[in-house]
């Protein structure tokens, strides 16, 4: 082109905020992990209370022999969000994370992304916050002891959230791999819990008002059998979260009142995949809005069949977005081509030609 | 924690390659836009030839009153890819892009992302490359003249791809907004085309063997009416790409042999949304593999009802990935939390605590 036009600097709209793993950890430490867990409980609870207005869809899964890659989109009409997440149980044996994730928020009115964030760390926090939010509404009053079966990457976050939100003081820990329990004990030993490593799942459950199951094998397992579970407990079953992966014997489900996030997704992925399609469940948002009862008696077994739902990620991303202005824990990413003339993408490319004012 | 462990530097696995808009433009100029278009035709054609082995799903759309945000995933069993893309026709009036996009590739065996790339620029190239690949198989032999109705952001890329791959030398340009045509003429004037701005769509079509329609209004429009289209042309209809948005009168469809990317998606989004559900179409991969005929006579009207499919984005991302090693046009993004012990995400967070060897 003969008329010279200097290459314009990208406009503000061309950038989105990016929270790297390093910045996410900085943000968590700045806020404090327990405070952030409590904050996330509040954000998730707020979004569950306005549940009906969300665009809801079961996650879009791409399955392979060794794992799954999923996209989890949702929208509240103003903000759109989605999470990319994989689940590869065999990764642990290769020194990789079973679950890695990242997420995005965008404006519904323009479709422009505004935030990209790591979500491996953030998912660990939101999963724990969701469990704690549910337990606050369903666990027996005065719960002080939690059994934690499966002491992997979720365990410390679950423990801290359950203490902060539900008052849990004692943790009874069991894992088929004793080193996992040692790791959890080491990570939590200076944090004021009574920590009791256990040799069996049966032993771990003794005296616990809340039982958390969070194991990672992709198979039909029976972490808990029916005779192990007494009356008056809350079971926080979060490890069974994909087709073919369950943790509880079906007889426990039959004796429990089962609470879920989003029924169509949980019927495919949760513990209730073992049950008939009309097995009765209550969605947690109904408990929060008063549309359905939560715990109704001391002897009742309440069971949260948690699989993780897109709205929880949306809440977590909203929270991160809201905290970035005052923390500065982000970078700017040049991921949107935003030419001065929207119809002139080619001209933008031409003006960026090396030697044309921009290298 | 009492035992000091230095914060480890993130491993290579913790990083994914990121191609920003600036780096994408650098890459395009390094390779040359026309060479890159021809390369993309080859990559897309390769993937269309192995079509049956792809995991195919219609895009996952979140619609609002003013636009749509979509996720387009696919996988060939070894590599998983998806694109985020919005479509907001009214954006142009606000100085924003109608379409912005980014994409990702990940390993199916671990679920770990490996490449994140801007795709606003890249989508423009892959859309043009797809049109050219289709036209190479369907357009009349010896095509030299293309009518281009709609002179927006796609127009220059379409022109260059059609010349490189199909030998187009003359462009007959029409847009309801004369300034759009002026912009296209200015961008292409030094590139050796015969450029003919036209005052009407009818005038643009005169003598053209290929007719490209690429307008952006989200409505049922009639850019071409039946009496305008003579025999022996190839129509490259790429503007109608969402529910409620079409460009051609249905009588043209009835007279044409219609070729599509992925039938279930095109029936929802393409020109054929105007036709009955059993309206016959041919998928392009069938033409490429010889399973179905392409153009069979000089007088036939072939019509590519292009809406853009996930596999084309997958091909484009594969191409970018393959060119990064020798160009270095990327940054590294710390988006995967990759602790040395996969079960010890909390320990990774603790070791990153300010004052613990990492700020």
Residue A5 has a pLDDT of: 43
Q: Do A64 and B108 touch (CB under 8 A)?
A: yes
Is A183 in contact with B336 (Cβ distance < 8 A)? no
List chain B residues with CB under 8 Å of A341. Answer: 95, 183
C-alpha angle A238/B59/A61, rounded to 5°? 25
Residue B322: its H or E element: helix B310-327
> So what's the pLDDT on residue B99?
86
Please tell me which residue of chain B has the smallest CA distance to A188.
B1
Mutation target vs B (from A97, A99, A311; most B CBs, 10 A cutoff): A97
Q: How far is B230 from chain A (nearest CA, A)?
A: 30
Chain-chain contact of A153 with B342 (C-beta, under 8 angstroms):
yes
| Residue numbers in chain B where pLDDT is lower than 70 | 1-11, 216-220, 240-242, 357-359
C-alpha distance from residue A276 to each of A257, A318, A321, B327 (Å): 15, 36, 41, 56
Query: What gap in Å lies between CA B95 and CA A339, rounded to an integer?
Result: 8
B73, B94, B187 ranked by CB distance to A346: nearest: B187
Tokens of A92: 């642990």
Picking from B112, B121, B152, the nearest residue to A100 by CB comes out as B112
Determine what percent of chain A falls in helix, strand and coil, rounding each to the nearest 5.
40, 25, 40
Q: Contacts of residue A24 in chain B, CB cutoff 8 Å?
A: 337
Tell me the CA distances in angstroms from A357 to A3, A8, B31, B118, B333, one per residue in order: 13, 9, 19, 22, 27
Task: Please give the Cα distance from B283 to B294 (Å, whole number).
Answer: 10
How close A59 gets to chain B, by Cα (Å)?
Answer: 10
Looking at the structure, do residues A141 and A289 belong to the same domain, yes or no?
yes
A305 with A332, same domain?
no
Between CA A107 and CA A99 the distance in angstroms is: 27
Asked if residues B130 and B266 have their Cβ atoms less than 8 Å apart, the reply is: no
Q: Is residue B57 part of a domain?
A: yes
> Which pLDDT value is given to residue B337?
84
Ordered alpha helix ranges (H), A1-144: 21-31, 33-49, 120-138
Verify that B141 and B182 share a domain, yes or no.
yes
Geometric angle at alpha carbon B332, from B328 and B334, rounded to 5°: 175
Residues of A in contact with B73 (CB under 8 A): 60, 62, 69, 71
Please tell me the predicted confidence (pLDDT) of residue A11: 62
**Structural domain boundaries, residue A240:** 131-309
Question: How many domains does the structure of chain B reveal?
Answer: 2
> Both B244 and B273 in a single domain?
yes
Residue A126, classed as helix, strand or coil, is helix
Which residues make Cβ contacts (< 8 Å) with residue A103, sequence separation at least 6? A81, A82, A83, A84, A116, A117, A119, A122, A313, A316, A317
Q: How far is it between the farthest Cα atoms of chain A?
A: 84
Same domain, B145 and B166: yes
* A37 alpha-carbon distance from chain centroid: 11
Instruction: Tell me whether residues B21 and A28 touch, CB distance under 8 A.
Output: no
Q: What's the pLDDT score for residue B5?
A: 43
What average pLDDT does the segment A308-333 reach?
95
Contact residues for A338 (Cβ-Cβ < 8 A; gap 6+): A10, A11, A13, A14, B96, B97, B100
A195, with CB counted inside 10 A (0-12, 13-18, 19+), is: middle
List, for residues A234-267, the tens digit of each pLDDT value.
Answer: 999 998 666 777 889 999 999 999 999 999 999 9
Q: Measured between alpha carbons, how far is A329 from A320 in angstroms, rounded to an integer?
A: 10
CATH number of the domain enclosing A293 = 3.40.50.720
Distance CA B96, CA B227 (A): 36
Segment B65-122, tens digit of pLDDT: 999 999 999 999 999 999 999 989 888 888 888 889 999 999 999 999 999 999 999 9
Q: Which residues in chain B have their CB less than 8 angstroms from residue A120's CB?
A: 336-337, 345
pLDDT in tens, A72-102: 999 999 999 999 999 898 888 888 888 899 9
CA distance B257 to B303: 6
- Could you tell me the CA-to-CA distances from B62 to A22, B80, B121, B157 in Å, in that order? 31, 21, 22, 28
Q: Is A340 a catalytic residue?
A: no
Looking from the CA of A43 toward its CB, the CA atoms found within 13 Å total 23
Tell me the chain B residues in contact with residue A66 when contact means C-beta distances shorter than 8 Å. Answer: 108-109
Look at residue B353 and tell me if it is in a domain: no
For residue A282, the distance in angstroms to the closest alpha carbon of chain B comes to 26
Mean pLDDT of A8-16: 68
CATH number of domain containing B103: 3.30.1780.10
How many beta-carbon pairs below 8 A join chains A and B?
A: 271
On whether both B188 and B97 belong to a single domain, the answer is: no
Nearest-by-Cβ selection for B334 from A20, A68, A109: A20
Averaged over A348-354, what is the pLDDT? 92
pLDDT for B358 equals 45
Residue B230's CB: how many other CB atoms inside 10 A?
A: 13
A299 to chain B, closest Cα gap in Å: 35
If asked whether residues A144 and A93 sit together in one domain, one would say no
Is A153 within a domain?
yes
Pick from A13, A87, A120: which is nearest to B336 by CB? A120
| Rounded distance between C-alpha atoms, residue A308 and residue A316, angstroms | 12
Instruction: Check: CB of residue B73 under 8 Å from CB of residue B57.
Output: yes
Same-domain status, B290 and B147: yes
Distance from CA of B227 to the nearest CA of A (A): 30
Closest Cα in chain A to B103: A335
Give how far the C-alpha of residue B214 lies from the chain's centroid of Cα atoms, to the nearest Å: 13
- Residues B23 and B117 both lie in one domain: yes
Answer whether A64 sits within 8 Å of B57, measured CB to CB.
Answer: no
The backbone torsions φ and ψ at residue A191, rounded to the nearest 5 degrees and listed phi first, read -110, 15
Distance between CA B73 and CA B76 in Å, rounded?
11
For residue B7, being part of any structural domain is answered with: no
B4 lies in a domain? no
Neighbour-count burial of A34, counting CB atoms closer than 10 A to its CB (0-12 exposed, 13-18 middle, 19+ buried): middle
Rounded (10°) CA dihedral B136, B141, B146, B149: -60
Cα atoms in the 13 Å half-sphere on the side-chain side of A33: 23
Would you say residue A38 lies in a domain? Answer: yes
**What's the pLDDT at B158?**
98
Q: What is the pLDDT of residue A356?
A: 78
Residues A111, B336: C-beta atoms closer than 8 Å: no
Distance between CA atoms of residues A272 and A257, nearest Å: 12
Active-site residue among A39, A47, A175, A241? A241
Q: Which residue of B has its CA nearest to A159?
A: B346
Co-location of B21 and B79 in the same domain: yes
The DSSP 8-state label assigned to residue B188 in this structure reads: H
- Residue B216 is predicted with a pLDDT of 67
Nearest CA in chain B to A54: B62
Q: Are residues B132 and B113 in the same domain?
A: no
Let me know how long chain B is: 359
Mean pLDDT for A113-123 is 96
**Chain-centre distance for alpha carbon A294:** 22
Rg over alpha carbons for chain B, rounded to the nearest Å, is 23
Are B23 and B87 in the same domain? yes
φ, ψ of residue B291 in degrees (nearest 5): -75, -20
**pLDDT exceeding 70 applies to what percent of chain B?**
94
Answer whether A118 sits within 8 Å of B334, measured CB to CB: yes
Backbone angles phi, psi at B293, to 5 degrees: -75, 155
Q: What is the pLDDT of residue B282?
A: 98
Residue A253 is classified by DSSP as H
Cβ contact, residue pair B94, A87, below 8 Å: no
Contact check, Cβ <8 Å, A342/B64: no
What is the distance between the alpha carbons of residues A67 and A90, in angstroms, rounded to a whole number?
8
Q: Which residues on A lie below 8 Å from B66 (Cβ)?
A: 108-109
Residue A353 domain flag: no
* Backbone conformation region of residue B77, classed left if phi is above 0, alpha if psi is from -120 to 50, else beta: left
Identify whether B1 is part of a domain.
Answer: no
Which residue does chain B place closest to A100, by CA atoms? Answer: B336
Query: Which residues of B participate in catalysis according to the annotation?
Result: 241
Question: What is residue B357's predicted lDDT score, i.e. its pLDDT?
Answer: 57
Give the integer Cα–Cα distance in Å for B117 and B318.
11
Q: Which residue of B has its CA nearest to A93?
A: B342
């Amino acid at each position: 082109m003969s008329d010279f036009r200097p290459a314009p600097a990208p406009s503000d709209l061309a950038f989105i905020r990016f929270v790297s793993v390093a910045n996410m950890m900085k943000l968590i430490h700045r806020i404090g992990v327990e405070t952030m867990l409590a904050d996330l409980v509040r954000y998730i609870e707020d979004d569950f209370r306005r549940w009906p207005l969300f665009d809801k869809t079961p996650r879009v899964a791409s399955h392979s022999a060794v794992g799954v890659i999923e996209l989890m989109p949702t929208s509240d009409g103003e903000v759109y969000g989605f999470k990319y997440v994989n689940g590869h149980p065999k990764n642990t044996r290769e020194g990789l994370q079973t679950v890695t994730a990242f997420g995005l928020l965008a404006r519904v009115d323009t479709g422009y992304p505004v935030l990209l964030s790591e979500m491996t760390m953030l998912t660990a926090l939101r999963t724990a916050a969701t469990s704690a939010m549910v337990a606050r509404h369903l666990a027996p009053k005065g719960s002080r002891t939690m059994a934690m079966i499966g002491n992997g990457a979720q365990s410390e976050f679950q423990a801290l959230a359950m203490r902060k939100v539900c008052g849990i003081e004692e943790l009874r820990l069991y894992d088929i791999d004793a080193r996992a329990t040692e790791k959890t004990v080491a990570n939590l030993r200076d944090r004021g819990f009574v920590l009791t490593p256990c040799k069996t799942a049966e032993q771990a459950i003794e005296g616990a008002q809340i039982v958390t199951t969070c194991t990672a094998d992709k198979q039909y397992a029976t972490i808990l059998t029916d005779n192990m579970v007494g009356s008056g407990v809350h079971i926080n079953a979060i490890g069974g979260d994909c087709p073919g992966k369950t943790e509880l014997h079906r007889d426990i489900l039959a004796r429990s009142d089962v609470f879920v996030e989003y029924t169509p997704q949980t019927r495919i992925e949760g513990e209730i995949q073992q049950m008939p399609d009309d097995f009765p469940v209550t969605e947690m948002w109904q408990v929060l809005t008063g549309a359905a009862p939560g715990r109704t008696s001391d002897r009742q077994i309440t069971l949260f069949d948690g699989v993780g739902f897109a709205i929880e990620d949306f809440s977590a991303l909203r929270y991160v977005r809201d905290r970035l202005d005052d923390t500065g824990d982000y970078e700017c990413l040049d991921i949107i081509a935003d030419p001065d003339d929207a119809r002139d993408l080619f001209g933008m490319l031409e003006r960026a030609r090396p030697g044309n004012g921009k290298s």
